[in-house]
């Protein structure tokens, strides 16, 4: 009897299941293709829900220092809302993230044209980018240390005007350190161009919070950024941030300078919608791209990646025409987007570095979000 009691006591003393994976239907596409939601959860109550439509982050639940949970990622409760208006909400974007000037580029002497979907330019892969397709779940694993799901999408030769068959994967992994990693990979059967990224929208106070993300405090360790023309295409200059609203080398409240007309670039972007040059070339190791904190909830996060540039977008085009999971309207500045990537329009600017991918090579964009519940820790 004593042995039974002792065994029960030892069992009760063991920690709860470290990580879990739950899968459920999330809706059906007009063509009948089913969409799935996969939720990764760790022992601390942190969770990330990924939907196969656009391989998108639909939800991230993060406690604060007192244990109060909030969903810090903008998104929709139903598939129909994602289909009703394309906003790249939490999505994986590609083949080429960001804008391609005129939707045109040349590779090996041959001209290619990508479908236009942003005025005169192609944005995030054109009209039928990777955010608009259903990805396939090809793996889901749970260990004592982490839960992960792998999704795959094969883009055929000529898709949206891009050359070559591109076999793309993304691995979402949530660990016991409250780190959400996103690993993009791709291979091709002929020379092509590729630059994938995540377009997750964040508000550390909660996606239904009445407090704007413009109250968040941001750090970006970059001495230069890329100014843009009237259509948000980089001019080619790497401009010094010193003395400008683009200097986030020391922490600044985002809203402190987002409405100033002292810099014409803020007016062009209707806020921040620019690329910061964190390093001139892809780093040899992961580097910190940004640090964000919310003084109201105490939550904070760091973003690390192996990419040279960081596109920071301050939610300028959220216009209160769509509602979120909590039922409230998403308004301008309600969230921010931080996209580690190659420099925008690099397909047309050799001095920006190459986004070329050849057969036999493997493309990689690795990013890690390190979440912190509050000043007191856990």
Catalytic residues: 199, 339
CB 23 within 8 A of CB 34: no
Q: How far apart are the C-alpha atoms of 115 and 99, rounded to whole Å?
A: 12
Burial of residue 318 (CB within 10 Å: 0-12, 13-18, 19+) is buried
Taking the C-alpha atoms of 256, 261, 263 and 265 in order, what is their torsion angle to the nearest 10 degrees? 100
Q: If we measure between CA atoms, which residue out of 309, 289, 310 comes closest to residue 301?
A: 289
Q: If we measure between CA atoms, which residue out of 307, 122, 349, 271 comes closest to residue 198?
A: 307
Long-range contact pairs involving 178-181 (C-beta distance under 8 Å, separation at least 24): 178/42, 178/44, 178/46, 178/62, 178/370, 178/371, 178/372, 178/373, 179/368, 179/369, 179/370, 179/371, 180/48, 180/60, 180/368, 180/369, 180/371, 181/366, 181/367, 181/368, 181/369
Q: How far apart are the C-alpha atoms of 92 and 194, rounded to whole Å?
A: 13
| Residue written as token pair 């010094």 | 240
Q: How far apart are the C-alpha atoms of 286 and 149, rounded to whole Å?
A: 22
Instruction: At 139, give phi and psi (nearest 5°).
Output: -175, 145
Q: How far apart are the C-alpha atoms of 216 and 204, rounded to whole Å?
A: 8
């Amino acid at each position: 009897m004593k042995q039974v009691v002792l065994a029960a006591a030892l069992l009760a003393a063991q920690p709860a299941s470290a990580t879990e994976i739950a899968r459920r239907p999330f809706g059906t596409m007009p063509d009948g293709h089913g969409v799935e939601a996969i939720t990764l959860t760790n022992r601390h109550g942190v969770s990330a829900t990924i939907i196969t439509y656009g391989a998108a982050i639909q939800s991230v639940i993060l406690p604060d220092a007192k244990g109060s949970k909030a969903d810090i990622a903008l998104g929709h409760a139903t598939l129909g809302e994602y289909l009703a208006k394309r906003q790249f909400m939490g999505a994986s974007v590609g083949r080429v993230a960001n804008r391609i000037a005129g939707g045109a580029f040349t590779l090996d002497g041959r001209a290619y044209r990508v479908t236009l979907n942003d005025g005169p330019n192609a944005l995030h892969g054109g009209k039928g980018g990777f955010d608009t397709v259903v990805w396939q779940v090809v793996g889901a694993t749970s260990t004592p240390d982490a839960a992960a799901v792998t999704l795959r999408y094969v883009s055929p030769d000529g898709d949206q005007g891009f050359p070559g068959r591109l076999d793309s994967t993304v691995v979402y992994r949530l660990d016991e350190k409250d780190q959400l990693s996103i690993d993009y990979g791709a291979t091709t059967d002929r020379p092509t161009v590729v630059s994938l990224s995540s377009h997750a929208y964040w508000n550390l106070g909660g996606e239904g919070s009445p407090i704007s993300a413009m109250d968040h405090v941001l750090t970006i360790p970059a001495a230069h950024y890329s100014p843009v023309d009237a259509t948000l295409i980089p001019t080619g200059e790497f401009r010094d941030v010193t003395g400008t609203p683009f200097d986030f080398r020391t922490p600044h409240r985002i809203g402190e300078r987002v409405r100033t007309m002292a810099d014409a670039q803020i007016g062009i972007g209707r806020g921040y919608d620019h690329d910061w040059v964190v390093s001139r070339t892809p780093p040899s190791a992961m580097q910190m791209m940004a640090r964000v904190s919310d003084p109201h909830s105490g939550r904070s996060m760091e973003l690390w990646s192996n990419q040279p540039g960081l596109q920071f977008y301050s939610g300028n085009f959220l216009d209160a025409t769509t509602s979120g999971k909590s039922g409230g309207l998403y308004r301008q500045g309600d969230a921010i987007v931080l996209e580690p990537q190659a420099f925008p329009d690099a397909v047309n600017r050799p001095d920006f570095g190459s986004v070329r991918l050849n057969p036999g090579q493997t493309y990689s964009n690795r990013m890690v979000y390190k979440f912190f519940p509050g000043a007191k820790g856990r």
